[in-house]
Structure 1
Amino acid sequence: MGNIVESLKKHVLNRRAQDYDEFLSKLDHPERVSPDNHIKLTLSPTTTFEAKATTTKAVAISSTCSEFYLACRNNQIDKVEKLLSTMTLDEIDRLEPNNSTALHAASYHGHKRIVQMLLEAGADRAIQNKFGCLPFDEALNDNVKELFFRVPNSNRLVGDTGAIEWELIDDDVLEKAAEEKNIIETLYNSFIGSDSVYKMFERIEKYYIDNGLANINGFQTVKRFFQKATKEQDPRWIIKAYTAETDFYTTLNAEIAGGAGQYQSERRYIIALLSRHPILDNYTFIGPAYRVMRQNIDDLKKYAVNSCLMTKSFLSSSIDRKVAELFLIRQEEVREQAGTKSRHKADGKVIKSWVMCIYQIKRKRTALHIENSSQYANDGEILIMPYTVFQVRNISKFKAEFLPDKPQMTQIELEEYNQ
């Protein structure tokens, strides 16, 4: 069992390496070159000598790597701690003249304690350096990479019930799915037509975030990301907010699934921006996505081949089955450490069992591959849009080699439905 878990963890830690490791040894990598060598003094050939001197000095000052970045790069723990106490998150996340950040530097050089301090301070994990690498990709070793994992009890790719995630479909609900999609499309097109997409971002931030979510855990983190989204009119900041470990994504999904009336328009704006905004066109995903769920065995019997389900909220899944399996294992470990035991019926059968769900995505913008904008890139997250209809294609059992006692586990294969 232990070997299987370590093998899964190793896979998840290094699944991105084939795409990014080649950049770590490049001679012009920001963390291999002295910061001083990145300073570029650009002079205009038409200026006077005196003007040149002034220009040179100004450019040199603006091109100097920050004291904080250098402290993180050089593993000056006490200095980093002192500077952090007075810094804003924008200062912590500053992209330096060498196109690196403090978190990239600490991660690349293996300064584990400083990486930990930066993550605890709320440093943005999804900033790319000049090679498109995230701080996670730059990590010197697996010990540093593990610092970027979600907390063990995170339910990001694990559902404990189907109540929020989906509902069985009949003709009325098929109609509801089509109706909701039409409302969202019409909303988005109305803002596009009047050239005021900015208003969507503004209203989400002003009404839903500032008023509706002011008391959630992690509000300041969410607020900051939405301020950026509004200022830059860029939905990738919404993805950062959604993937951060706050109460935002659970609250948002519960309210979408429950049909809460207050702030319904603002929630629809979020759905519209993530499902329609052209900036996210290159995030579109076609293929299989994986998610695990603990489901009541009596409810599980309701699902049959050819039956249809509709996602009632955003649904987080992974491009990699082994990531979903590791999430499941970590959940089980937390349950075991807490002394939580599975409940059984009078006949000895367990009340809830684990289910592996495989979603086959077929249409553009039904789902987004968001890992490079996610606060947790190692999740390999595929974000499935609300009101997507899937048809059950197959239900089977398999031996879960990665779980204690290797129990039989249900697997449900779902394919996007042609509405």
Structure 2
Amino acid sequence: MFNRRKNENTDSRSRSDHPERQPFIESLPVKDVEQNPKPLSATAKPTIEEETERKIPSKKCSNFYIACRTNNIEEVKKLLKTITLEQIDQLEPNGSTALHAACYHGHSEIVKLLLDEGADRSIHNKHQFLPFDEAKNDEIKQLFFRIPNNNRLVSSTGAIEWELIDDDVSDKAAEERQYIKYLYDNTTGVTTLLKMFEKIENNYINRVLINFKGIENIKLFFRKATEEQDPRWIIKAYTAETDFYKALNTEIACGATKAQNERRYIIALLYHHPILDQLAFIGNAYRVVKINSDDLAKYQVDCSLMTKSFLSTSIDEKIAAWFLCQQEVTSMQNNNHEERVKVDGTIIKSWIMCKYIIKHHRTALHIENISQYTSEGEILIMPYTVFKINKIKKVKPSYLPDGQLITEIQLEESH
């Protein structure tokens, strides 16, 4: 978990021109620093370097940035009461952010303050490194990890919530995908691409979603998405640890009618917007599920299933396993580690490691570098994707204690 990204970021901290190794420019008040990035067109594919460059203000470093860099905890607390999330996240003239600075210099208390406030974890500095990559030590990296019981890569609800097993699943999936494609292709008609973003923000985010913790972060992400016409802000919102992704997935899976078109617009943008082509993923992805024995019986070799909503997986099996272990540890600490069994001794709930073999372009997106939790190596599988089970087996993985068995299910994307 700590070192998975280390190989690709080995020179992050050692560069002589690193912004955190240079003297910072004396500051102006944080309110005087502006960011006015130009909107992205539907077909534009700017590099990360170009995007970072266009967002760096041509002014001096803010008081807030300096306080974070110099570990002035009291000043940071004071400023956090008066500044906005955009001001917290702004790129400074040296190409760094307050969160990058606190991570680089090992100021753990300030890092925690910024993360608790909702600082954007997925902003790249001028050398294209994320705050997590800049962390001075593992203590800092640990602050970026999600609470185990809240992880999207692990489902422990005891039911197959997001997947539909059915003989006609291929036809159902094709119908849904065709309609989603029609919605996106129609952006040249009545509902333009900008209108699509506006309707999502105004009719769904601002009117339908309940007032959960972190909703202001979600509103900010969607405002940015509309301003820049950039669906990557939607991914940022989805990966934030709020109830947004839970609400979105539940409503899509259950077919909720209120703001249904707006949710379909979200799916259409993530499925078809060309700016996300660079994130298209083909390969293996992993997800852990804890389900009861009756639901497990529904998984049979050669049967097909359809994802009913977005499905979060990891590019690294070890990460999915790590979260499984963390859930078990948490359960034991809460004295919930006794396995519940039926009268005949059958364990009611079992852990399943699902291996998804993704074969087609834009079925899934590798969102690691724009996720709020980059360490998870997230692969986001699109709704209405059909998989066929081609292997089920019991194994004794090294990551589970006492020779515990786990069921591994291999699912291959259908044509």
TM-score, normalised on structure 1?
0.89
More helix by share: 1
Q: In the TM superposition, what is the alpha-carbon distance from 1:263 to its structure 2 partner? A: 1.1
> Is 2:199 the partner of 1:186?
no
Question: Which runs of structure 2 are paired with 1:77-88 in the superposition (5 Å)?
Answer: 77-88=73-84
- Which residue is equivalent to 2:350? 353
Choose from 300, 325, 335 the match for 2:296.
300
Bigger CA drift: 254-263 or 352-361? 254-263
Q: Distance in 2 between matches of 1:217 and 1:77?
A: 24
> Is 2:62 the partner of 1:73?
no
Choose from 10, 16, 32 the match for 1:27.
16
Aligned-pair identity in percent equals 57
Q: In the TM superposition, what is the alpha-carbon distance from 1:18 to its structure 2 partner? A: 0.8
> Is 2:90 the partner of 1:94?
yes
Gapped runs of 5+ residues in structure 2? 28-56
Which amino acid is 1:384 matched to? I
Q: Distance in 2 between matches of 1:64 and 1:297?
A: 61
Q: Distance in 2 between matches of 1:121 and 1:226?
A: 18
Which amino acid is 2:355 matched to? I
Choose from 357, 361, 365 the match for 1:364.
361
Which amino acid is 1:335 matched to? S
Choose from 160, 171, 174 the match for 2:170.
174
Question: Which runs of structure 2 are paired with 1:133-212 in the superposition (5 Å)?
Answer: 133-160=129-156, 161-171=158-168, 173-192=169-188, 196-212=192-208
Q: In the TM superposition, what is the alpha-carbon distance from 1:34 to its structure 2 partner? A: 1.1
Q: In the TM superposition, what is the alpha-carbon distance from 1:195 to its structure 2 partner? A: 7.9
Q: Contact (CA 8 Å) 1:290, 1:356: kept in 2 or not? A: yes
Choose from 96, 112, 118 the match for 2:114.
118
Q: Contact (CA 8 Å) 1:164, 1:253: kept in 2 or not? A: no
Q: Contact (CA 8 Å) 2:160, 2:291: kept in 1 or not? A: no
Q: Contact (CA 8 Å) 2:160, 2:295: kept in 1 or not? A: no
Q: In the TM superposition, what is the alpha-carbon distance from 1:82 to its structure 2 partner? A: 1.2
Deviations 1:226-250 (A, max 9, x none): 1111111110100010000100101
Q: Distance in 1 between matches of 2:116 and 2:211?
A: 20
Q: Distance in 1 between matches of 2:207 and 2:401?
A: 45
Q: Distance in 2 between matches of 1:207 and 1:150?
A: 30
- Which residue is equivalent to 1:16? 5
Q: In the TM superposition, what is the alpha-carbon distance from 1:331 to its structure 2 partner? A: 1.1
Q: Contact (CA 8 Å) 2:279, 2:367: kept in 1 or not? A: yes
Q: Distance in 2 between matches of 1:348 and 1:405?
A: 19
Q: Distance in 1 between matches of 2:212 and 2:109?
A: 29
Deviations 1:129-182 (A, max 9, x none): 0111000000001011100000121231011244322111212x3211111001
Q: In the TM superposition, what is the alpha-carbon distance from 1:255 to its structure 2 partner? A: 0.8
Which amino acid is 1:394 matched to? K
Q: Distance in 1 between matches of 2:284 and 2:23?
A: 44
- Which residue is equivalent to 1:323? 319
Residue 158 to residue 192, structure 1, CA distance change in 2 (3 Å) = farther
Q: In the TM superposition, what is the alpha-carbon distance from 1:212 to its structure 2 partner? A: 1.1
Q: Distance in 2 between matches of 1:314 and 1:289?
A: 14
- Which residue is equivalent to 2:123? 127
Bigger CA drift: 238-247 or 402-411? 402-411
Choose from 221, 227, 232 the match for 2:228.
232
- Which residue is equivalent to 1:36? 25
Q: Contact (CA 8 Å) 2:249, 2:310: kept in 1 or not? A: yes
Which amino acid is 2:128 matched to? G
Largest Rg, 1 or 2: 1
Q: Contact (CA 8 Å) 1:125, 1:375: kept in 2 or not? A: yes
Which amino acid is 2:107 matched to? H
Q: Distance in 1 between matches of 2:117 and 2:74?
A: 15
Deviations 1:220-278 (A, max 9, x none): 11111111111111101000100001001011111111111111101100000001001
> Is 2:252 the partner of 1:256?
yes
Which amino acid is 1:98 matched to? N
User: What is the DSSP-based 3-state SS (H/G/I as helix, E as strand, rest coil) of the residue aligned with 2:403?
Assistant: coil
Q: Distance in 2 between matches of 1:406 and 1:91?
A: 51
User: What is the DSSP-based 3-state SS (H/G/I as helix, E as strand, rest coil) of the residue aligned with 2:123?
Assistant: coil
Residue 86 to residue 288, structure 1, CA distance change in 2 (3 Å) = same
Q: Distance in 2 between matches of 1:293 and 1:24?
A: 37
Q: Contact (CA 8 Å) 1:308, 1:391: kept in 2 or not? A: yes
User: What is the DSSP-based 3-state SS (H/G/I as helix, E as strand, rest coil) of the residue aligned with 2:124?
Assistant: coil
Q: Contact (CA 8 Å) 2:354, 2:411: kept in 1 or not? A: yes
Question: For the aligned residues, what is the CA RMSD?
Answer: 1.7
Q: Contact (CA 8 Å) 2:390, 2:411: kept in 1 or not? A: yes
Deviations 1:340-360 (A, max 9, x none): 232101122210100000000
Q: Contact (CA 8 Å) 1:21, 1:137: kept in 2 or not? A: no
Choose from 278, 283, 302 the match for 1:282.
278
- Which residue is equivalent to 1:56? none
Which amino acid is 1:374 matched to? S
Q: In the TM superposition, what is the alpha-carbon distance from 1:15 to its structure 2 partner? A: 0.5
> Is 2:391 the partner of 1:394?
yes
Q: Distance in 2 between matches of 1:76 and 1:199?
A: 44
Deviations 1:36-67 (A, max 9, x none): 399xxxxxxxxxxxxxxxxxxxxxx9531111
TM-score, normalised on structure 2?
0.90
Deviations 1:341-384 (A, max 9, x none): 32101122210100000000000100000011100000100000
User: What is the DSSP-based 3-state SS (H/G/I as helix, E as strand, rest coil) of the residue aligned with 2:10?
Assistant: helix
> How many residues are matched?
385
Q: Distance in 1 between matches of 2:370 and 2:398?
A: 32
Q: Distance in 2 between matches of 1:253 and 1:124?
A: 22
